[in-house]
Structure formats: C-alpha cells, structure tokens
Chain A
Amino acid sequence: MSQSHSDHPEFLQHHFSDAEQQRESAKLGMWLFLLTEILLFGGLFVFYAIYRSWYPEMFINAHTVLDVTMGTTNTIVLITSSITMALAIRSIQLGRLKQTVWYLVSTFGLAGTFMVVKYFEYAHKFHLGQLPGHFYTFTGIEGTNPHVFFSAYFLMTGLHGIHVFVGMCLILWLIVKTKQGKFSPQYYTHIEMTGLYWHLVDLIWIFLFPLFYLVG
C-alpha cells in the first residue's frame, strides 16, 4: 500500500478521502484475503477428511510415528508468538516504538523456533522414508495406503510452513520499518494486517495439530 510516514496526510493515498476510509478499506481487504486463505486450506482439509473416512485404521496407525512432544512444543511456541504479535500491536497503538520492536523480534524468534523444530521432524521422516506417494519406503505401518497419510501430512504442514516463512519475512520487514520510525499510533495498518495474518497461520496450526498428532 502507500509509503507511510509519521506525519499524517503523507500516508494517505489520493483516492481516499480520509485516513479512516483508507484504514477500513485495508482491513476489509485483509479479511477477504484471509477468507481466501481459509478456503485454500479448506480444500486440503476436505482431502484429509475424505481419506480419513476411507482409511480410518491406517490413519490411527500412521499417526503414532509422529512425535507428540515436538508437536506440543510447536503448538505452545506458536500460541506464544500470537500473544507477542498482539502485544506488538498494543505497543504501537500506545506509541511505544522500542517495545514494539522488541515484541516483533520475539515473534520472529518464536516463528524461527517453530521452523527449527519442524526441520528436525521433517529430517527424521526423510531419513525413515515416511514420505508421500512413490517416495514412501517405510514399512512399519499397518493398514492400506499409509503413504496417503504422509501425503496429507507433508502437503498440509508444508503449505502451513510456507505461510510461517512468509510471515517471518513480513515481520522482519516490519521490524526494519518500525526502527526507521515509519509507524505511529495514527498509522500502523501494516503491523495490524500482519498481525491478522499471523493469527490465522496460528489458527490453522491449532487445527493441524490434533488432526495429525492426536488422531487416536
């Protein structure tokens, strides 16, 4: 959107009549975008539901190879990051720039932790051959077509991981911009929007976690 500036009319684009209209528009746009994201994941959730109803026992057998401790850790990490993100927005509303930066950095750090844990989980599965489709070589799971479980697992957590990565890039960019003093209590749309996005990413994980790690 527009180049921001701490002085008020600078950030206002020519086609909006006031800052309120601009902010409201951005907000509505963001909610619509989040809706498309939900629908994008929705397709995968439907895919998961159909296959789980076709192969219920296999899903239960297959989920045992996932590490619940790692999954729980990641869940806690993401929920905490959502809190720090919300606190960042609160701080900018109050005009505390330093605090905002600090909260954004912690959010970034937590997101990074999530990715590192995910990396170890993935690496372990690659090693054992618990992979989707033709690449599935693991033999320890009973039931029909266990590779489908891992297709769903890698597709859904993978797409989610990409979203976490995009979120990290956005937060990094916010940190730089906040340090440069581009945001103020009058204008912090970007932080607010990224916050909404981050909560959605978090929310999707809240669904993924029980569907894969706690099936039984």
Chain B
Amino acid sequence: MNKMPETHYLNCKKGIKSWLTTVDHKRIGILYLLSIMFFFFVGGMFAVLLRLELLTPDKLYIDSDMYNQFFTLHGAIMIFLFIIPAIPAILGNFILPIMIGAKDVAFPRLNLASWYIYMVGALFAVFSLVAGGVDTGWTFYTPYSTTTSTSVISITLGAFILGFSSICTGLNFIVTVHKLRSPGMTWFKMPLFVWGMYATALIQVLAAPVLGITLLLLIIERVVGIGIFDPAMGGDPVLYQHFFWFYSHPAVYIMILPGMAIISEMITAHSHKKIFGYKAIAYSSLGIAFASFIVWGHHMFTSGQSELAAMIFSFLTFFVAIPSGIKVFNWVATLYKGSIAFTTPMLYTLAFLFLFSIGGLTGIFLGALSVDIHLHDTYFIVAHFHYVMVGGTVIAFLGGLHHWWPKMWGRMYNETLAKISCGLIFVGFNMTFFTQFIMGAQGMPRRYHLYDEAFRPFHAFSTYGSWVMAVGFCLMAYYLIRSLYNGKPAGNNPWGALTHEWQITSPPPEHNFETIPITDHGPYDYDKVVAKSTLTEN
C-alpha cells in the first residue's frame, strides 16, 4: 500500500493564522479552491432557481424583478467569481510552479495579496446581493445600468477589484514562466498546461485594465453623472458596449484557454501518449490570445455599427475559429495508438471533446452575419456560451480537479461514484442546453421571465436537465469531501504521468523540491520513458 508522506505542505504549519498569512503557492491554491467553490455553489443555486422558475410560461414563484436579479447574479457570480479565476487561481497556482520545477511563483506575497483582493471584490459582490440585488444582466449595459435603482455600484466595484486580482495572478505567472524555469526546461519542453496559462496570463494583463477603466467610468457616471454613456448629455451608450466587449471578449478566452490547457495534460497522461502537434497547440494558444483582442465587435452586429465594421469583425471572428479547431483535431490524433485508460479525468476529457466541439461549431453560426442577426440575443446564444463555458471550461476544470486531486491531498476519491457523477453531469448538461439551441433558433429571446406557451416543452425539458446536473454536482461534493478523510493514499504518481508534479510526493513537500530538478526529457515522451502508476503496482 502507498503511504502518506510524514510532512507535507498541508501539515508543515498549523493553525488558521498559518493559512491566512501563507505565501506558499500550494496553500494559496487551496484558499482559492475553498472560496471559488463556495461561489460556484452560490452561482449554481441561482441557476437551479432560475430553471425552476422557467418550468412554466407564467410566473411560478418569483416576479419579474426577482427573476431579473437572479439571472444577473447567476451570470455575474459565475463569470467574475468562478469561471475567470477558477483554473488559473486554483490549479494554475498549485501546479504551474511545480510543473516548471520552481519552488514558488515569482512574487509569493503578491500571490497572497491577489487572494485577499479577490475576497474584497467578492465582498462587494455579496454586498450588492444583500443590498437589494442587481438587475442589469452581467454585461451592465448602459443606459439601463445607469438608470436602474438597484445596487449596480457595489457589484461593478466588485468586478473592478476582481480585475486587479486577476492582473496580479497573470503578472505573477508571466514572470514565473519567464524567469523561474528549472535547468533544462526550455520553452518547448514546458508542459502545454504552462503554455495555456501563459497565454491566459497575457490576456489577463492586457485586457483587465481596460475593463477596470470601463467599470470605473460606469461607476463615476452613476455617482456624479458625467454623461459619458448618457445620450441626454451628449454621451453614447454603444460606446460602453465597445469598451465592455474589448475586455469581455478576450475574457472569454481567459476562461477557455485554461480549459484547453488542462485537456492537453489529461489526454496525454491518461493515454500514455505523446501529444500530437505540440507546437501547433502551443502557438495556437498564443494565436487565440492575440486574435481575441480584435473581434469584440461581433457582440454588436445588431447595434447599428457600420456595415464595414461588421464585415471586418465577422471576418476576423472566423480566424479565431481555426486555432480552436486545430487544437481539437490534435487532441483526437493524440489518442491514436495510445494506451487509453478510462479514468475519471479521461471521461471528463472525452466529455470535453464532445461538448466543446458543439460549442465551437455553433459559434460559426453566430459569426456568420446574416444568421447572427436572427440568433442574436436568443437562447441560441445562451446555449452556445454554456456549451463553451460549461461544456468546455467547467468540464475541463472538473477533469483537472480529479486529475490533480490526489496530488493536492495525497488521497484518491471513489472512482465509481466519480464516474457516475461525471455521467450525470454530461447527460444533464445536454438535456439542459441542447434544447436551448432549438428554442433559440425558433426565436425565443433570452432574459425572458414569461414566455410563449409554444416554448413550454423545451423549457420544461431544460429544467429537468438542470436537476440531473444538480444531482451530479451534489454527488461530486459528497465523494470529494469524503475522500479527504478515508481516501486511499494515492502515491506519487497515480496516473503514471511524466511531468514534474508527479515525481514528488503527494501531497508535495513545503518547498516542492529538495534540489531543483533537471529536465532531461519532454513532458510527454511516453515513447521514451515509462512511468509506473503508483495505484496499480500494489
């Protein structure tokens, strides 16, 4: 049997204070894990409540004002408090320094500060929740957001502050990757997870300041009425949309690139196969990061922008589709002649390929100008971004959580329950959101509290799906928490993988490495090196 190491980062220091003042990247990752999962739960609750209300075309149990607040909070919490920080701040913090053979990130104190900044931002968001809620939608479109009586200021201030947390993390990762790689870890020997994090960090650093200034302008507009976005004072509400999407479209890639990064790790580790097209995947991450900055206008095809602008944005949008497609084909090719184990992370990887392909392909509909005119602001959009964000990012995140869980805690979870939960989430997700594609194409507008009787069967089925998903998530919470107490010790390398984090104890020691490791083979050289799984050898 495997044994837990005697001292590791979890038990080297004790007490709440040692956690709240820690500068260890692994402990900060755990702090993030707890806080982000809490908000995932809150955002999820709102999702279930929303779907419940939409079970019937008429009011079921909440009025329109409450409904509008629920979908706003669901969106704002999920985007700003969960999905943007989830992978970089939890898994990135924990794994990235170990992967490149470093003892910590470049600026450990800045790292801790970023968690505190996150918590302060979260506090503002929670405050807006108790101080009357917000009903603008997570996009805070003007002039609605400057005129509504709800507490827009505190939630935008929250998002503004969260932006800085995200800048701190991004800046830290860029410097870490540039300066702290261990000997032998050349750029093209870096695991693709690191490449993905690096590309993400670039977007975070470049885009978050613009969101910051936009939200600041919105706040100032509300407080002193400077009139930037107010047509009555010579301002322009569409200008807000330009500013907002200049950040928020790259933000979509802040959300999906880390998901792709995890898939590259999982698909190789669980099929013991060298990645197909390493450089193509690495470069496409950078390509996506760059292209994400020049396509923001495709959110505004119906807002009366000029035909020329629409044409350019549509054209550029299709160029973002290509690198994403290349990644998917590379992953599929990686499976060829592999040794594929159906572990829980692998199931999540397969689910990702299925759902992300649908999410990506439906994006083509929306990039096509004339079709977008019809589909814009309908449930088709809702379904599309849930397929990308949940089917892509969240599924990858959950897969990554299961992949690195034994490393984080040193213990395995119950694989049978994990597979059942994965199945429930997959089925529930498709039930919930595939119906929304059909509804949307049929003309069901989004953000509608009451709807036409004709859409009832779709909405009802979608709601049933959300229940299946909810059961899956509850099951996951149960077996993951249980694994902390009586999970079987996982050993150093439960999956038989080659990257650095699997060569040290689980959980890792306080400073990761006794001596800085020397990288002599590539991260996926399964054709040259065999690493035995510590789970099966006993």
Interface residues in chain A, defined as those with a beta carbon under 8 Å from any beta carbon in chain B: 1, 13-17, 21, 24-25, 28-29, 32-33, 35-37, 39-44, 46-47, 50, 54-55, 132-135, 144-145, 147-148, 151, 155
Contacts and interface: CB of A to CB of B under 8 A. Distances in A.
Contacts of A13: 108
Contact of B511 (A14, A29, A39, A55): A14
A29 B210 CA distance: 19
A25 B179 CA distance: 6
Nearest to B106: A25
A147 B213 contact: no
B14 interface: no
Contacts of A41: 213
B220 interface: yes
Contacts of B217: 43, 47, 155
Contact of B175 (A25, A43, A54, A145): A25
A41 B52 CA distance: 44
Nearest to B179: A25
B103 A14 contact: yes
| Chain A interface, DSSP helix/strand/loop, else mixed | helix
Contacts of B214: 43
Interface in B216-261: 217, 220-221, 224-228, 233-235, 239, 243
B171 A33 contact: yes
Nearest to A45: B213
B226 A37 contact: no
16 contacts: A15-B103, A29-B107, A29-B110, A36-B205, A39-B206, A40-B212, A42-B210, A43-B210, A43-B214, A43-B217, A47-B228, A47-B239, A55-B234, A132-B224, A134-B224, A134-B225
B213 A32 contact: no
Contacts of A43: 209-210, 212-214, 217, 243
A100 to B, nearest CB: 25
Given A1-B107, A25-B179, A145-B233, A133 B167 contact: no
A28 B167 CA distance: 14
Interface of B: 102-110, 167, 171-172, 174-175, 178-180, 205-206, 208-210, 212-214, 217, 220-221, 224-228, 233-235, 239, 243, 511, 516
Contacts of B228: 47, 148, 151
A133 B224 contact: yes
A90 to B, nearest CB: 26
Given A1-B109, A29-B171, A29-B175, A147 B227 contact: yes
A20 to B, nearest CB: 10
B516 A17 contact: yes
A144 B103 CA distance: 60
A28 B202 CA distance: 13
B107 A35 contact: no
B212 A148 contact: no
Nearest to B182: A17
Contacts of A33: 171
Contacts of B107: 1, 25, 29
Contacts of A29: 106-107, 110, 171-172, 175
A13 B24 CA distance: 12
A37 B209 contact: yes
B224 A15 contact: no
Given A17-B516, A43-B213, A134-B224, 20 more contacts: A15-B102, A15-B108, A21-B179, A25-B107, A29-B110, A29-B172, A29-B175, A32-B171, A33-B171, A39-B210, A42-B210, A43-B217, A46-B243, A47-B228, A47-B239, A133-B224, A133-B225, A134-B225, A147-B234, A155-B217
Nearest to B25: A15
Contacts of B511: 14-15
Contact of B226 (A21, A46, A50, A133): A133
